Chain A
Amino acid sequence: MKIIVTSTGDGMNATVDPHFGRCSYFAIVDTESGDFEAIANQYKDAAGGAGTKAAQFIIDKGVGALLTGHCGPKASEVLDDTDIQIVSGINKGTVMEAVNAFKEVGRGQGGGQGGNR
């Protein structure tokens, strides 16, 4: 499964960015192959609606989960009827740590159902 982590930098060891719509980078990690890609957030400085556009961006990327600090009401509405699992409240640590923690929980639960919205 591909997951997106909001990040402050373009590496696996960068700190997670607690903002969703206005994060610096979207780190895309493939949990099976280990492939990693960081894409700069082009909506970071939008005057308004950064969250809606960021949400549409991750839908278009076809990911299974989003790990971030806080996902605003507009972004949540866009993501509402998708099956993207949103894990919020991740305010510290590196991208790698967030991904590993997510994988651990997933194993414990036997597949990432639910998640804390």
Chain B
Amino acid sequence: MILAVASGKGGTGKTMLATSLALSVADAQYIDCDVEEPNGSLFLHVNIQTHQPVGIPVPRIDKDRCSLCGLCSEACEFNALAQSKTHVLVFADLCHGCGVCSYVCPEDGAITETERRIGMVETGVFQDMNTHDVLFSQGRLDVGELMATPLIKAVRKTSDPARTVIIDAPPGTSCPLVETVRGVDYCLLVTEPTPFGLNDLELAVGVMRLLSLPFGVIINRSDSGDNQVKNYCQLEGIPVLMEIPFRRDLAEAYSKGIPFVQIDERYRTLFQQMVVKIRQELEL
């Protein structure tokens, strides 16, 4: 089973939740898909064993073979190609590596694709003292790099079907989130009971419904803010799977990189029960 922990709004507690969830279920694999700022390793102190560079194919134009027909720059959806009077210019940082330019090019050998590195996929194993080991992988986008989605695709490929896979999703509701949750079995949407939390939860729910993904809501710092998130979930028939009240001891543990299930063991059981419930709902 693949569970994604997503949110819409940033800073609601995705990583706090995903890491503790991974420590609570048997045979877990934790995958950090927040490749722009992966921070799951602050809580799961892992010895990284493999580093795999990831690149995307970008076009290189052979000036002598290019007939300046203009088809490639016209076809490029990301404006990564521009044509002047004398040659075609490639702006590699805008290129998504889709390959449409070489597809439409009528000239033999005018466009060749070369690999441009965008980041790394790193894997390791986390040894938990109390329970079992947790497989760990993360994507790490190179500094200054914009193309998160091809790296997310690569890090998603590390998922082990024999494990309960917990994916830590990037915030927001744009391409990186969509790429992260594509094909997962269930999505946990973490939110907070504030107007901002509700606004972004509604956006995330919109994505879930467009992708026809089953999902439920976890309310973090549930004793702060107002009742709007709960009312919204009730009105929309969205299950609230867990509420985590704000606690100073949990926040202090967080600030030291300690997963909160190590402070309050009862949450392990709550997470296990939640996963059982989700499995039943999905009939997995």
Q: Which residues of A contact B (CB under 8 A)?
A: 43, 46-50, 52-53, 55-56, 59, 74, 77-82
Contacts and interface: CB of A to CB of B under 8 A. Distances in A.
A49 B73 CA distance: 11
A78 B84 CA distance: 6
Interface string B205-224: 00000000000000000000
B61 to A, nearest CB: 14
B91 interface: yes
20 contacts: A43-B79, A48-B94, A48-B146, A49-B78, A49-B80, A49-B91, A49-B94, A52-B89, A52-B91, A52-B94, A55-B82, A56-B83, A59-B84, A74-B82, A77-B89, A78-B84, A78-B89, A79-B84, A81-B87, A82-B85
Contact of A56 (B84, B86, B87): B84
A41 to B, nearest CB: 13
B92 to A, nearest CB: 11
Contact of A59 (B79, B80, B85, B94): B85
Given A48-B94, A74-B91, A78-B89, A53 B82 contact: yes
A49 B81 CA distance: 9
A77 B80 CA distance: 13
Contacts of B146: 48
Contacts of A52: 79-82, 89, 91, 94
Interface in B39-85: 73, 78-85
Contacts of A43: 79
Contact of B78 (A47, A55, A59, A80): A47
Dominant SS at the A interface? Answer: helix
Contact of B84 (A47, A48, A50, A82): A82
Contact of B86 (A48, A50, A77, A81): A81
Dominant SS at the B interface? Answer: loop
A46 B86 CA distance: 25
Given A56-B73, A77-B89, A78-B89, A50 B82 contact: no
Nearest to B79: A49
Given A48-B146, A59-B84, A77-B89, 13 more contacts: A43-B79, A49-B82, A49-B94, A52-B82, A53-B79, A53-B82, A55-B82, A56-B82, A59-B85, A78-B82, A78-B84, A81-B87, A82-B85
Contacts of B82: 49, 52-53, 55-56, 74, 78
B271 to A, nearest CB: 38
A74 B82 CA distance: 10
Which of A50, A59, A78, A80 counts the most chain B CB atoms within 10 A?
Answer: A78
Nearest to B174: A47
A74 to B, nearest CB: 6
Give 7 closest A-B pairs by Cβ, nearest first: A49-B79, A52-B82, A78-B82, A56-B82, A49-B94, A53-B79, A48-B94
A74 B79 CA distance: 11
Nearest to A48: B94
A52 B82 CA distance: 6
Contacts of A50: 79
B88 to A, nearest CB: 10
Contacts of B87: 81
A81 B79 contact: no
B235 to A, nearest CB: 33
